[in-house]
Structure 1
Amino acid sequence: MRRLRVLVLMHPDCVPPDSTDGYSAQEINLWKTEFDVVSTLRAAGHDVRPLAVQEEIRPIRDEVDNFKPHVVYTLLEEFHYTTTFDQHIASLLELMRIPYTGCNPRGLILARGKDLSKTLVQNRRIAVPAFGVFPMHRKVKRPARLALPLIVKSLSEDGSNGISQASIVDTDEKLGERVAFVHERLQTAAIAEQYIEGRELYVGVLGNNRLRALPVWELKFGTLGGLGARQIATEKAKHDTDYQERVGIVDGPADDLAPDVTARIQRTAKRIYRTLGLDGYARIDFRLSADGTPYFIEANPNPEIAQSQEFAKAALHDGIDYPSLLHRILALGISRAKAGASVG
């Protein structure tokens, strides 16, 4: 790829240093994605400029005018302290006619709402857990069709935010308590889903029109089940590096799946990707039940792209090294802009 000017948008707390020397694993975990993207693209010869943004769009406009980037690599997961505002940055870049990486605004919106994405996917006859939504400031009453146990989450937050072992409830009283927790701590509506006992699987998908499904990846919970805990991707299991090491939580290829099951899951991931109007790159999450049914849990456009994370590791397992992966993501953003508009 030719030498590019790349503007990288990121949260102010995630601006990386020039080196990881002297930092703990927990400290690096905060900005590992930003560090990996910036340092890898610089090593490849690109002119890379990080930009911290949170409350104002003017810095983005100023940098676009001054730096004149060929493409913007957006690593923002929120704007103005609100996760649902990330799609507005993509919309702004489209209005400015600047190529950007990742998903288009429509796909971000459709994937963000777990109820909407599940409804759309279910309409394509893809298995999803039964679910119910509990809006803010409403009395919690479990629909009769929604059998216990359930797992309670934020309707719109991602990254396992707010999910713990207490998120799985087996009584109406616990359901009410956990919904109240989501309302009060996360300030969002709650969704309660049928709890699927099974394996936690992820499928990365790359592409705008022609799609490539990466190898099926699995989050493996080590000794967690033996400790009497449910094997779910809690906030602690996803982000606490000390806890991961202590319990033995690792991720890797789901090697023991039958070839036909693997192919089915990858096809389903691509169908979900298209159904939700996603492009660029995304990770589709499943729970695989004991009877072999892959249940769609959620879609994650613009997932963590650090070299140590599931998406990049699955790509490497499929023969795409990290610099090549970032270059493909840049190329997808540029080619979408050349095509003229976002999906839909």
Structure 2
Amino acid sequence: MYYKMTKNDFNELIKNAHRRFQKDHRLVVVANVVGQTKKRDRQQPDSDFFSPQEITEIDEALQTAQIPHEVLTSELDFNQKILDNKITAKCDIVWNLTRQGGSGNKKSLVTSLADFNQIPYIGSSVEAMAVCRDKNSFEQLIKPVNASISTYTETELASFSGEKQIILKNASGSASIGLSDDSIQSMSAVEVNRQIKRAKGDKIAEQFIQGFEVEVPVFKTGSGKDRHFKALSPVGISFDNQRLLKQKVLSETLSDTYNYQFYSLFDELFTQERIDTGLVESRLINQACRIAARLSLSNYARIDFRVTLDGNGYCFDIASTPYLIKHSSPVWGAAQLELTQAELITAILGTAD
């Protein structure tokens, strides 16, 4: 099946959201913001948090959509409001945009509290978020849906001879953390194994793939037993004036400073000879939707691929709560359907059960 989002799909979700919030429901947004949220870990970089401008974008989008809401910048404030009965299961829906916590439970405190108090929320469960943060876990789980992955297994490492281009990545967390173009190294299997053992399980060895960096935003649509994921057309990431990335990766610096641009992968591949662009697009969309379903993600997410020149996609990262600021692939992709940031965010609220 071909699960591509249409403008009509978004319009239906927008209607769902307005119907729900007409019934005296209020949205409680919980987000970590630079200068407003007290960090529990002093070493945590500011880039993990929203800037004041970014959270203002979210707030203004909700105002434009006329969604009654409150923005909290502390998990502790959220907990206190629950204890004071100022947030209740009957009247409120929570949208968890927090980023604090350790590597295994980052982002999960608000969701845990909402679950415990049976308050409905937008976003994936604690378990699903934890799985997405651990590359070894999600890669094992998505293999049954025929998803190609770029990480070498121990068996694969043992079987290759000579040197190959390798990227040693953190086993958990965002895919760009600690990365630069220097992270691409020619290494033997012996050296790779030595470094992985030295890292005591905190690193994985990923095959470097020349190709396109691609993000596929997915959304839960339908109702009842007919609920399933659909996706926007794959969004390409370009930087340093390059789309086809022969010896480059999206580094931590580029990611944190948003020093990259978006483009339509479909349009880019259309210029390549001997490629069935429609087949490549449908294959990536269907693969992204199968991965989201396999990992029991909820409402919305983003599946990231490295796509080769012949159109094969290798999943390397999953964002269970991707940013929806103006500079983001979901907002850019929705704009290609003539939807605003406010309409996209409203549509996501309409994905709630």
Which of residues 279, 282, 292 is equivalent to 2:311? 292
Q: Identify the residue that residue 98 of structure 1 maps to in structure 2.
A: 119
State the identity %: 20
Q: Which amino acid aligns with 2:234?
A: V
Question: Residue 201 of structure 1 is aligned with which of 214, 228, 234?
Answer: 214
Q: Rate the CA distance shift 1:14–1:167 in 2: closer, same or farther, 3 A.
A: farther
- State yes or no: 1:75 paired with 2:91: no
Matches within 5 A, 1:11-50: 11-13=32-34, 15=36, 30-50=51-71
Give the letter aligned to residue 237 of structure 2. Answer: L
Aligned to 2:256: 239
- Residue 205 and residue 85 in structure 1: after superposition, are their counterparts in 2 closer, same or farther (change >3 A)? same
Take 1:82 and 1:35, find their aligned partners in 2: how far apart are those partners? 27
Question: What residue in structure 1 maps to residue 326 of structure 2?
Answer: 307
Matched, 1:259 2:278: yes
1:329 deviates by 1.7
1:143 aligned partner: 157
Query: Could you report, residue by residue, the CA deviation over 1:294-318 in whole angstroms, capped at 9, with x for unpaired residues?
Result: 1111211111111221111112213
Question: Aligned partners of 1:190, 1:116: CA distance in 2, in Å?
Answer: 13
Give the letter aligned to residue 107 of structure 1: A
SS at match of 2:247: coil
* Cα distance, 1:51 vs structure 2: 1.3
Q: Which amino acid aligns with 2:130?
A: I
Higher relative contact order (CA 8 A, sep 6+): 2
Q: Which residue of 1 is the match for residue 86 of structure 2? A: 66
State the Cα distance separating 1:271 from its structure 2 match.
0.9
Q: Is the 8 A contact 2:98 2:107 kept in 1?
A: yes
Structure 2 SS opposite 1:205: strand
Q: 2:237 aligns with which of 199, 219, 228?
A: 219
Give the whole-Å Cα distance in 2 for the aligned partners of 1:295 and 1:106.
23
Please give the alpha-carbon distance, in whole angstroms, between the structure 2 residues aligned to 1:109 and 1:318.
32
Unpaired stretches in structure 1, ≥5 consecutive residues? 17-25, 134-141, 336-344
Describe the shift of the 1:85–1:162 C-alpha distance in structure 2 as closer, same or farther (beyond 3 A).
same
Structure 2 counterpart of 1:89, which letter?
A: V
Task: Assess, with a 3 A threshold, how the Cα gap between structure 1 residues 87 and 259 changes in structure 2: closer, same or farther.
Answer: same
- C-alpha distance 229-263 of structure 1, shift in aligned 2 (>3 A): closer
Q: 1:275 and 1:149, CA in 2 relative to 1: closer, same or farther beyond 3 A? A: same
Counterpart check, 1:230 vs 2:247: yes
CA distance in 2, matches of 1:143, 1:61: 50
SS at match of 1:332: coil
Q: Identify the match of residue 162 of structure 1 among 178, 203, 214.
A: 178
Q: Which runs of 4+ in 1 moved over 4 A?
A: 54-57, 172-181
* Structure 1 contact 32–306 (Cα < 8 Å) conserved: no
Q: Does 1:318 align with 2:330?
A: no
Give unpaired runs (5+ residues) of structure 2: 1-17, 38-46, 222-226, 270-276
Pairs aligned (count): 304
Q: CA deviation at 1:266?
A: 0.6
TM-score normalized by structure 2?
A: 0.75
Secondary structure of 1:153's partner? Answer: strand
Q: Deviations over 1:127-185 (max 9, x none)?
A: 1114258xxxxxxxx9323662111111111161211122222135985897699x5xx
CA distance in 2, matches of 1:225, 1:124: 28
What amino acid sits opposite 1:71 in the alignment? Answer: I
Task: Using the TM superposition, give the Cα deviation of residue 61 of structure 1 relative to its aligned residue in structure 2, in angstroms.
Answer: 2.5
Pick closer, same or farther for the CA change 1:108–1:37 going to 2, 3 Å: same
**What's the secondary structure of 1:203's corresponding residue?**
strand
RMSD of the alignment, in Å? 3.3
User: Aligned partners of 1:192, 1:236: CA distance in 2, in Å?
Assistant: 21
Aligned-partner Cα distance in 2 for 1:225–1:7: 39
Structure 1 residues 321 and 223 mapped into 2: Cα distance closer, same or farther (>3 Å)? closer
Using the TM superposition, name which of 113-122 and 144-153 deviates more: 144-153
Which residue of 1 is the match for residue 12 of structure 2? none
Q: Which amino acid aligns with 2:248?
A: Q
